[in-house]
Amino acid sequence: MDTLELKKEQSRLARRIQLRDTFSDVKTIGGVECAQAGDKLVAVVVVCEYPSMKFLEKKSAVLHNPLPYKTGYVAYREMPAIIDAFDRLEQEPDIVLVKGLGVNHPRGLGVASHVGLALNKPTIGVTDSMLFGDLEDGRIKAHGEILGFEIRTREYAKPVYVSPGQQVTLGSALQIVQKTIQFPHKMPEPLHLAHKLAKKKAKEMVEEKEPRARVELATS
């Protein structure tokens, strides 16, 4: 992984990010998360009705031999699987929530922003870790700019951090995420479902591989 070249590409692509709402009426919202399954990566995308959060659809995709994890370059590892899963949907969501950073990224291009550019879709980054910037009165700031927000979605639980990815304003990102929280879940409902399904799929893939490995050992 040539991080110098990737840094240059991220900086170039970040100039294409639009922090403006390109939508008028949101009827569906998606959630995307990836999980490790041995030497594979599984991505799950779910689509929910908005704002009721009624589950509508799910699709998954498996990436063989993904790039190794490296902080700041998650998109290059996860995006092939995310795009593959998204392309399988029968109904594309109006907005996509992505587990990870949006513009609250050292070069302004977290995985949510990168996915938004690739799909030409409004995206919002949501994570449960403060990975970049400084917090001031619930706002994520860096270089004098507001890049996102801290939201406490559940009493006694750690907060989540929200940042626009692409084609979404700061205000809309905050408002939309707040409307997708369903008690008792900490994360927005589409991401909660995507997380649960991705973990389940990854576990099934690992368990499916292990019995075959034991059989091969026993017969060799």
Quick one: pLDDT at residue 183?
Answer: 86
pLDDT at 172 over 60: yes
Examine residue 186 and state whether it is found in any structural domain, yes or no: yes
Cα 105 from Cα 66, distance rounded (Å): 22
With 60 as the cut, is the pLDDT of residue 105 above it?
A: yes
Mean pLDDT confidence for 200-207: 92
CATH (domain of 72): 3.30.2170.10
78 lies in some domain? yes
Identify the CA nearest to 60 among candidates 32, 100, 101, 96.
32
Q: Is 203 inside any structural domain?
A: yes
In a domain, 215, yes or no: no
The model's pTM is 0.92
- Residue 202 inside a domain? The answer is yes
* pLDDT value, residue 11: 95
Average pLDDT for the chain = 92
Q: Looking at residue 216, what is its pLDDT?
A: 40
Cβ-in-10-Å burial (0-12, 13-18, 19+) of 2 comes to exposed
| Residues 3-25 pLDDT 10s | 899 999 999 999 999 999 999 99
**Tens of pLDDT, residues 69-97:** 999 999 999 999 999 999 999 999 999 99
Whether pLDDT at 217 is above 50: no
Q: What is the structure's pLDDT at 215?
A: 39
Q: What number is the average pLDDT over the span 119-148?
A: 94
Q: What residues have CB less than 8 Å from 31, skipping those under 6 apart? A: 45, 46, 48, 96, 97, 98, 99, 188, 189, 190, 191, 192, 193, 194
In a domain, 96, yes or no: yes
Residue 217 maps to a domain: no
**pLDDT surpassing 60 at residue 211:** no
Task: Provide the number of structural domains found in the chain.
Answer: 1
- Residue 62 pairs in a beta bridge with 42
Burial (CB count <10 Å: 0-12, 13-18, 19+), residue 78: buried
Q: What is the pLDDT of residue 1?
A: 66
> What pLDDT is recorded for position 207?
86
Helices (H), ranges, the chain:
3-14, 74-87, 111-119, 170-179, 189-219
pLDDT value at 61 more than 60: yes
pLDDT of residue 220: 34
pLDDT at 213: 45
For residue 131, the tally of other CB atoms under 10 A from its CB is 16
Q: Which domain holds residue 118?
A: 3-210
Task: Name the band, by pLDDT with cuts 50, 70 and 90, for residue 54.
Answer: very high
